[in-house]
Chain A
């Protein structure tokens, strides 16, 4: 002890001596940073001491801020006090000391992972062990599960999948991707025996039953329709990862075969997926009068939820591919076209006013929508618009509009040039509704072509592919209208172009900057990919290979705890 202390002092002296020497040797302009380093060190220490005093109850009620030594002494007393009454493994000299008792660590892990450990025999899927945390997740108690067959608790459609994972399967090895060429490699090699050996890794998903007995409170939230079905079991989707192990039979399975001294089993950690089990949409759908749709940037429907049918009368497949403008009332065209333009240039959600949507039966329903344009994180271009639509009221909304019938008739025959709605009042003008959307989309695409004069490295030419997605030609009904639209009355086109140009100005510059930023930023994590080897390692670990089968040795020496 004495020696130790004197050594410490010597060290301190050495330090201070060397500090003096340093200060003597260094010229004035170097003394500043040195002092700063020292100051930083002192500040850091003071901060730590402050934090410590905040955590120690004995230091709290003091009037004056306690000095360093006092805080340290109180800390020592506090730690001694904490040790009294703990049932941890610290006191035991044989066990490796750790900051946290092993049991606490185990609990924390299971809490963080929100999972449970499951050990099943490979031959009959008998549940050999399951950790108590399963109760929180599936509502079953240990007694209900231990010793049972796992298959009794699995969704019927997943039984084969789980069987496959528990056994060595005979089907030919799945095609892998050759990392060098990126092409599929066909192999007819038989399954390697290592798949069943200890250390073989498994990762798969399956649905497991959720007990309804214990969770009486949860049943209140279930809709009555669920109870009417015969099989009212609820399932929870689990992600299971783990290793194959062989374990001595006598320890675990009293029914063990004399012929098989050791049992092959799978040790897994099962975690439920974050958002609970997939339920049929009927449960989720609390508001039947709301539905979601997706349109291409020209307004053509590309996705329509089934709930839409109760509102608009059409089945999704009846409207898919048609332009939303075909269903808008003439009076709303101007406002909606404006919102359309707005949403393509904004990162915010755009709220429309109330508008009328033509149903299958000719009547109109009053809707209000929230539009949001999706921008591809890589290309930074708008690819589609998502619309959340809700019904405003059914009463006055269902107007049989004579004008609309007339308008439709006119639309069929028209060969006239489409006119931008803002320039017209609707009466007496021939509007082919769908092309409004197309025109607005073209404005956007033009702005992109000005920004992206050359495709950036690594990305396929964004302009080219967007082109295919949103053809510049109008729908086939009136082809001459499309050529007319293409040629376009120069005045209206140039108007729209300047308008678009003005509103796009900021988008251009920001679009350009962020693309550059993206190029620079995109692969910070791939700096370690300087070698092909490292890249291969990533690919190989995404697909199973010899390299990653796992080290059997690691497992054999673990004492089997159950």
Chain B
């Protein structure tokens, strides 16, 4: 008798639970249908993902439609009549279509232009909250991480980045009130999980490798309706493609401590040092002391992340003065080394491609010992 009652009660509660779950599923359905996603993507979303994507949508909407975050942006828009200019240009090309068509055309144009940017950039766009949530990722993120936009958006960057880079990441996410108003810039290198194989196919996240990304961007904030501040970042996969080395570019090789082991003829032409003069010399000796920090950061990136983009620094010219340069570098196995034995850890070296950005400045100035020493 007791058991039958108990059974009955259990059955009722199970039915109630089923009803609740049904209602809940309905609401989740409604929610996912409102999300601007392709049907194929929508069908595969689990419940947490639906919420994640809903959050992203709301946050991005807030970010983009809220009051402008930076004073510079606001005043600039007024100054240049920015939006008007752009519409004017498009109107010229469109030849004045009807409004509906024009809007469509405008959107299609924007889409093509955006795709063009993303390809040229060789990267994807990431919007990060101050806690590290990846609020938004452009669709092409799948080409770099092997996971789709829907799979990644809303998750936290710390789940996907190399643990040794977490501190640097945290520092970069920390935006003070003042910095956020001025659209503070960010520039750093980080390692991220990639489920892509060498041949570019998507594999399991469990067998993920580390991919090096160069992240650049700025902070953005909007004040109303709610205060949202975040980082807008372009993430480029390193190493970047390079063009034919032109007359204003040279390559050099270094041991891991950044001493020269090789430099090409162009370096001699542009900077005046012969290869013999440079072998064994540290790059730090050749550069302006005020740029030591820039070079150190670059060196650190190479030691720990294997790739780096240096940003601008000054290289001293042999006869006097200096040039502004930027170096793109990577750590590679040193195939030349006589110590190389198969099966052991390969000795490594650093390969640098350096672009000369300026002419020789202050050619009469001799600032360093290397500029004055005569062989």
Contact = CB atoms under 8 A, between A and B. Distances in A.
A457 B337 CA distance: 11
B341 to A, nearest CB: 11
Interface in B104-122: 104, 106-122
A207 B358 contact: yes
A106 B110 contact: yes
A87 B246 CA distance: 46
27 contacts: A45-B48, A48-B55, A88-B107, A89-B111, A90-B36, A92-B104, A112-B125, A112-B232, A112-B233, A114-B217, A142-B86, A173-B244, A203-B241, A207-B358, A374-B292, A459-B255, A460-B255, A521-B164, A521-B304, A522-B348, A526-B348, A529-B333, A534-B198, A538-B330, A541-B242, A542-B328, A559-B108
B335 A179 contact: yes
B142 interface: no
Contact of A112 (B217, B353, B366): B217
Contacts of A522: 256, 303-304, 348
A269 B121 contact: yes
Nearest to A13: B18
B210 A117 contact: no
Given A280-B361, A526-B331, A541-B239, A12 B351 contact: no
Interface in A81-112: 82-83, 87-90, 92, 94-106, 108-112
Contact of A383 (B106, B239, B248, B282): B282
Contact of A201 (B61, B243, B296): B243
Q: Which of B52, B53, B108 has the most CB of A within 10 A?
A: B108
A25 interface: no
B21 interface: yes
Given A99-B36, A320-B372, 12 more contacts: A12-B18, A69-B23, A83-B34, A97-B36, A100-B136, A117-B113, A143-B85, A177-B351, A278-B312, A460-B257, A526-B348, A543-B353
Contact of B51 (A48, A57, A103, A537): A48
A221 interface: no
B257 A462 contact: yes
B362 interface: yes
B368 A303 contact: yes
B345 A203 contact: no
Interface residues of A, number: 155
Contact of A204 (B107, B248, B328): B248
Contact of B336 (A87, A164, A182): A182
A543 B149 contact: no
Given A108-B125, A377-B296, A76 B304 contact: no
A78 to B, nearest CB: 7
Contacts of B116: 117, 267, 558, 561
B306 A526 contact: yes
A44 B241 CA distance: 41
B153 to A, nearest CB: 7
Contacts of B209: 527-528
Contacts of B358: 207, 237, 278
Contacts of A79: 31, 34-35, 54, 57-58
Contacts of A110: 117
Contact of B284 (A173, A383, A529): A383
B234 A112 contact: yes
Contact of B244 (A195, A301, A521): A195
Contact of B139 (A98, A161, A269, A554): A98
